[in-house]
A and B are shown apart, each in its own frame.
Chain A
């Protein structure tokens, strides 16, 4: 059953950037958007399982560092080949300066 997990402090993530968060044998990516909202997706690219944390956040898009495939990290939608499979997303919220994700 999904539960809210304390993932990091809001200050741990720069604006328009992401960090990796590992929990219970799984890896996630947590994003801070240009308008200071937080989002969470799976941490590995759906193309070849590369960690997205080394990629580039541009507005609401995360670009995979290996093949430049792109996802909209708000919805997980695959936006640019070679990625074809959408990224799983998870609810995220901020409480008392902490980012919580529901996984």
Chain B
């Protein structure tokens, strides 16, 4: 059994480079250029509509929560507000980080900055981190965004349903960055010329949090923190729930997103919160396609992909047993069946990773 080292500076990172897994060519389903060009076209309208809806709902729910505070009747408003702040902002961070949500660049940037603040993810650091995630998806030692490592740290994942470790790490890094420091792993993927931007954003955030805390102390109430900061904890569960579905239990160290990513059909409310990232194989194969065109892309290429999971529950029915098996045997993974219409997996490309018996 192989012991994995997920450090970006460790032996698995060096091995990925040596064996050609790093910055490699990945499998793509064939889509005629004209069709792909049409799918990649940008539009402001869907994201403007969704953003007005999102921010409008957040203002209404926070207002309701404040009006009913401190009555327990304010709890439903806070729970809903929390999901929009601590989970919908995750998908907005993601899509606007790619620059595909809106056609107009300043709109992408504005929403990206706000979402990064809500998720406590430095917008510069995480832009580079996510670029690496797309270059080296679930390549051990290269991908800095692997949620369910092997063996899976289930207690850690459980804590993150309440944002505890992710947010605390984010706030710790914010303070380090505000003081002008960058961790060694961050330094591995952030170019020198980008680093002053990291520090500047962190300092602005420290000022916002300081003002919020001063207001809370002055009011002798946690109410300001219920609006800014704490929703990153009490509203995180939805983005963790959907985030785990993306890759957990599937193959690592392969060069085909059909083997390491998962598409799941989910309910319309979760799709709004998650901004269609449930079409995750499609997103990784073609990151230029905006979230609102992913359902169309799915229809065009599903003949070449494993069958999607039919619901969030269905996805967890395969993920949970796989994670439990990985606790005892970390080389175990789910190898998803391709339909007869698909081009087969390149076994030669994945001989080492797929050589392990899997079900």
Contact = CB atoms under 8 A, between A and B. Distances in A.
Contacts of A80: 99, 105
A67 B42 contact: no
Interface stretch (B49-57, B128-136, B326-334, B351-359): B128-136
Given A81-B194, A84-B191, A84-B194, A66 B135 contact: yes
A19 to B, nearest CB: 9
A82 B41 CA distance: 20
A84 B37 CA distance: 25
Nearest to A67: B131
A56 B288 contact: yes
B127 A55 contact: no
A50 to B, nearest CB: 9
B350 interface: no
Contact of A17 (B37, B134, B193): B37
A67 B135 contact: yes
A96 interface: no
B7 to A, nearest CB: 21
Nearest to A85: B191
Contacts of B175: none
B135 A48 contact: yes
Interface in B11-39: 23, 36-37
Contacts of B131: 47, 67, 81-82
Chain B interface residue number, banded = 20 to 34
Nearest to B133: A67
Interface in A56-100: 56, 58, 63, 65-68, 70, 80-82, 84
B98 interface: yes
Given A67-B135, A82-B128, A49 B23 contact: yes
A17 B128 CA distance: 27
A68 B100 contact: yes
Contacts of B107: none
A56 B135 contact: no
A47 B194 CA distance: 14
A67 B128 CA distance: 10
A63 B288 contact: yes
B40 interface: yes
Contact of B98 (A47, A58, A68): A68
Interface string B279-308: 000000011100000000000000000000
Contacts of A47: 131
Contacts of A68: 98-100, 287-288
Contacts of A54: 36
A65 B288 contact: yes
Contact of A67 (B37, B134, B286): B134
B127 A81 contact: yes
Contact of A58 (B23, B36, B42): B42
Contacts of A70: 99
Contacts of A84: 191, 193-194
Nearest to B100: A68
B23 A48 contact: yes
7 contacts: A47-B131, A54-B36, A63-B288, A65-B288, A68-B100, A68-B288, A81-B131
Interface of A: 17, 47-49, 54-56, 58, 63, 65-68, 70, 80-82, 84
